[in-house]
Amino acid sequence: MLACLRKSRLFHFKDGGVLERRIYDWLSADSKAWQAVLFRVIHHLLAVSGLAALVLDTVTTINASFGHILDLVFDTTLVFFAIEFALRLIVAPAAPWVRQGESWRARRQWATSSAGVIDLLALLPLAALAAGAPQLLVRVAGVVWIFKFGHYSEGLALVGRVLRNARGPVESLFMAFLVVLLLAATLEYVSEHPSQPEAFSSIPASLYWAVTTLTTTGYGDVVPLTSFGRFVAGLVMVCGIATFAFLAGILANAFAEEMRRREFLRTWDMVARVPLFRDVGAGTIAEVAKLLRPQDVPAGTIVTRRGEPGDCMYFIVAGEVEIQIHPAPLVLGTGQFFGEIALVTGGPRTATVIARQSCEFLLLDLADFRRLAAQQPELMRAIDEEAHRRLSAAQQRR
């Protein structure tokens, strides 16, 4: 397939390796190339259409009228996913981390990764068709296509990282859940079997009651009648509430930790792009990143107003701002900062600042400004010098 693509007039590359890297980039979920964007649009449209065809095919009236169209949509989606799987497998060696001569190792690693397994599962309808399975089973196998969106969803990726990070506590809690479940089913079987031999006919049958009670679902179709059985049921309910409270706490803490990590990495990246912090070293950047808060503002936003109290200064990571001063406005761009005069002098804002473009800022408030002054005197010396230079320039203009 790749050899055919290399000969195609759609690709004007002399080097096959270049072609593989281009296709790898087009298939990448975070690529900004127009070919990659087009691929993602087609991918999502076909995935949604295929799932819709699968669902609508089970409606008798719709199937009778539009069955041939639903079959065409389903088959087209299946063929597209088959081609995608083949392309991803072929160009896997074009990944940046792959070294020379490790092509098959790269393909094996991709095929056994979560993305590769999901892409392989997407071909289950094809395998069912090849095995001569009934048409209904072929269609139902396509439900795994819903997982195809996970590769492109940052939210689902975040959930996956949270579950991996909290795997140890969650596994321990799950083991405790199983222990309580088995003990509850056993005790209830011993207590209720003599009076309700049909409902509590065995320990496996009692597990149904234990699950509905421990999860606090309580359908009410199977209930204990003896005093001891009701006592056990009360304990199981309390244990169920405690179990899910612990689980919620563990996952909430893991989510918060992951969000803090992501915010720190984003802030680190923004700090490293400011020239003032670029050469201070990783340790200093890490300390500064803890003090700075990122903020995004749209074009036209009034960032600060002249005369208002100054409680923070701003570092411009991206975009431009206009400082309205006499006799002509001053424009500051990426890498520069403003708002430091009010922090240095302790007075009000000396100018109104308006965002000329959509901007990304890093904010340093007054308390952290003083903390940074104690921790990084060299940085504060540069900020102080710039503040006094701007004050002198403003006095000369007046």
Do 197 and 307 fall into the same domain? Answer: no
For residue 327, cis peptide bond before it (omega within 30 degrees of 0): yes
> How far is residue 72's CA from residue 232's CA, in Å, rounded to a whole number?
56
Chain segment 80-101, per-residue pLDDT in tens: 999 999 999 888 888 777 777 7
Do 13 and 143 fall into the same domain? Answer: yes
Residue 239 has pLDDT above 70, yes or no: yes
Residue 183 has pLDDT above 90, yes or no: yes
Residue 157 has pLDDT above 80, yes or no: no
Do 10 and 35 fall into the same domain? Answer: yes
Residue 267 lies in a domain: no
Chain segment 311-341, per-residue pLDDT in tens: 888 888 888 999 888 777 888 888 788 888 7
Do 36 and 148 fall into the same domain? Answer: yes
Chain segment 56-69, per-residue pLDDT in tens: 988 888 888 888 89
> How far is residue 294's CA from residue 315's CA, in Å, rounded to a whole number?
9
Do 79 and 192 fall into the same domain? Answer: no
Q: At a CB cut-off of 8 Å and minimum separation 6, what does 290 contact?
A: 264
Cα torsion 252, 258, 260, 262: sign: negative
- 51: number of Cβ within 10 Å: 19
> How far is residue 207's CA from residue 186's CA, in Å, rounded to a whole number?
8
Residue 12 has pLDDT above 90, yes or no: no
Amino acid at 390: R
Residue 379 lies in a domain: yes
Do 226 and 194 fall into the same domain? Answer: yes
**Torsion angle of C-alpha atoms 266, 267, 272, 277, degrees rounded to 10:** 180
Do 6 and 148 fall into the same domain? Answer: yes
Chain segment 198-216, per-residue pLDDT in tens: 889 999 999 999 999 988 8
> How far is residue 172's CA from residue 167's CA, in Å, rounded to a whole number?
9
Do 140 and 186 fall into the same domain? Answer: no
Do 251 and 296 fall into the same domain? Answer: no
* Mean pLDDT, all residues of the chain: 82
> How far is residue 354's CA from residue 62's CA, in Å, rounded to a whole number?
57
Owning domain of residue 182: 167-259
Residue 36 has pLDDT above 70, yes or no: yes
**CA nearest neighbour of 81 among 20, 35, 113, 127:** 127
Question: Greatest CA span in the chain, whole angstroms?
Answer: 99
Residue 317 lies in a domain: yes
Rg (CA), the chain: 31
* Per-residue confidence (pLDDT) for residue 6, from 0 to 100: 45
Residue 208 lies in a domain: yes
Q: Which of 108, 124, 152 is the last residue of a domain?
A: 152
Q: Cβ distance 262 to 289 under 8 Å? A: no
* Per-residue confidence (pLDDT) for residue 14, from 0 to 100: 40
User: What is the token pair recorded at 382?
Assistant: 């540069």
Do 7 and 148 fall into the same domain? Answer: yes
Rank 132-141, 144-153, 174-183, 384-393 by mean pLDDT and report only the highest. Answer: 174-183
Cα torsion 7, 13, 18, 24: sign: negative
Residue 221 has pLDDT above 50, yes or no: yes
Mean pLDDT of 9-13: 40
Amino acid at 86: A
241: CATH: 1.10.287.70
Do 192 and 85 fall into the same domain? Answer: no
User: What is the token pair recorded at 67?
Assistant: 């069955």
355: CATH: 2.60.120.10
Q: Which uninterrupted H or E stretch holds 40?
A: helix 34-56
Tally of domains within the chain:
3
User: Which is more confident, 10 or 102?
Assistant: 102
Q: Is 289 exposed, middle or buried (0-12, 13-18, 19+ CB in 10 A)?
A: buried
Do 61 and 117 fall into the same domain? Answer: yes
Q: Which uninterrupted H or E stretch holds 164?
A: helix 154-165
